[in-house]
Structure 1
């Protein structure tokens, strides 16, 4: 082959290599945008974006609505924090953080921080760091608004008590408070609510903040009430990677949120319809045992 043909072949080969490389880059870029549409954006996203883990299925706390928007107290708290970190709401990429996945999401770097009814405890603190707490919740029960038979925790004896499959809340009641309670485990809280509404069960138990969020839905207006038993302390924290400098920055943001009244406004907005008697904003860095 002469020099001219060799040169042309080299050019063609070079162009082919560039084309393949471009296709690979385009493929990864397209995948990034596709993931972004579902909220699962890789951690090497745009420099202005911030990825936040929330619950998708807890009304009043963290809920992805059918139209693709996000609502709830944790969403409002996370949006405020993101603003204080220099991000507009449009910069936030929301990612579902199921209870069993939260530590993994943080350790793997899939999210920048998590606000997902994430109770601070010693076991979790071995794996991740927590800013906050930003809300003190309690285990409680939700009952029908016209039910006057459950006035104290021991009244749950011989009552049908519902929680979701795998939850420790109902078992805690049976083990420590009302040993004769009849446990009913359903697949989700919505199923428990339907059973409560229809009289198939007598009480639903989990964190009072979660119960208030469900009861605040328009379709359940005036149908349920919180018993106000405060059977445990649940300190909700913002989860970050172990050793992350975000912890201090988020604590500063939370302090500002409380001081300027935004925290109270978010509580009223998300829990007010259920007459939720929330605790005052907790002191940052102080976990109530």
Structure 2
């Protein structure tokens, strides 16, 4: 019997499995006469969305450009050998595209480092961003968010043989690494004044720095860290409990209320699709969560 856990506990546990999402026929928002896409949703036809300059640009270009992460197992991961992308965030990104009428072959992915996400959206380099993107008031000064579509919390990754760090209470005098510009890094700087920090463009670089002894811990969302630990359990482990709450949203151009409302409606009305995506990616751990309610600000 599957045990129902809190969102934070589930997010932390679920990322251990790196499975991608298989096909299905659960429809998302919009008319769905077209063949099913790669996930549990169909590509919508006759999409009705007016007043969105971002959507108009997509239609004109006959493609959608999505910013993603590609070094986060279970969430947003690119297999360098096969070229296949997998993970919960990738399936959410494709669900949004399908609801807007774009099949997988009309998607162009761009890997964007955490520090460059806002500028990529503001400059029009991407149409939207899906990649463990925490909704914050500071970011909402430059961009907008649809969602949240997932909730997790900040955690710590350390060397498997390191018993000196058991939680965030043991960080005084230690050096902690995170992605440049990320919310977890900002949290350490603001709230742990006795802790040193270093940063790189990607979390995978922080993980390598940890293995090389250049840093004592890596911090980001615990769901992400468990993915890394599961890849190298002999050398890495996650310690403690989540010590923040992070709400993942879809990053959008500021002021595109029509697109934000459309995606929020998709999330609100598409629980079956959301649940299928979760169950076939992060939910393979056997846990159950409820889809979070969107913040329709």
Is the shorter-chain TM-score for this pair beyond 0.5, marking a shared fold?
yes
Q: Could you say which residue in structure 2 is the equivalent of 1:24?
A: none
Give the RMSD, CA atoms, in angstroms: 3.4
CA distance 1:123–1:62, shift in 2 (3 Å): same
Q: Could you say which residue in structure 2 is the equivalent of 1:239?
A: 251
CA distance 1:263–1:197, shift in 2 (3 Å): same
> What's the CA shift for 1:245?
1.6
Q: Could you say which residue in structure 1 is the equivalent of 2:85?
A: 70
> What's the CA shift for 1:130?
1.0
Q: Could you say which residue in structure 2 is the equivalent of 1:101?
A: 116
Task: Name the TM-score, length of structure 1 as normaliser.
Answer: 0.66
Which structure's relative contact order is higher, taking Cα pairs within 8 Å and 6+ residues apart?
2
CA distance 1:186–1:258, shift in 2 (3 Å): same
Task: Name the TM-score, length of structure 2 as normaliser.
Answer: 0.65
> What's the CA shift for 1:83?
2.1
> What's the CA shift for 1:142?
0.9
Maintained 8 Å contact 2:150/2:247: yes
- Tell me, in whole angstroms, the C-alpha distance in 2 between the residues paired with 1:236 and 1:185: 21
- Tell me, in whole angstroms, the C-alpha distance in 2 between the residues paired with 1:180 and 1:104: 31
2:291 counterpart of 1:281: yes
> What's the CA shift for 1:283?
1.5
CA distance 1:68–1:244, shift in 2 (3 Å): farther
Maintained 8 Å contact 2:179/2:199: yes
CA distance 1:53–1:221, shift in 2 (3 Å): same
CA distance 1:71–1:176, shift in 2 (3 Å): same
Maintained 8 Å contact 2:179/2:203: yes
Maintained 8 Å contact 2:67/2:131: yes
**1:21-60 aligned within 5 A:** 46-47=61-62, 49-60=63-74
Residues paired across the two proteins, number: 237
> What's the CA shift for 1:174?
5.8
Question: What is the CA deviation profile of residues 225-282 of structure 1, one whole-angstrom value per residue up to 9, with x for unaligned ones?
Answer: 322432322221112222242212212322355444224323235xx5xx9x997532
Q: 1:251 aligns with which of 264, 269, 273?
A: 264
CA distance 1:221–1:237, shift in 2 (3 Å): same
Maintained 8 Å contact 1:103/1:124: yes
Show structure 1 runs of 5+ residues with no match.
Answer: 1-41
Q: Could you say which residue in structure 2 is the equivalent of 1:150?
A: 165
**Larger C-alpha radius of gyration, 1 or 2?**
1
> What's the CA shift for 1:68?
3.0
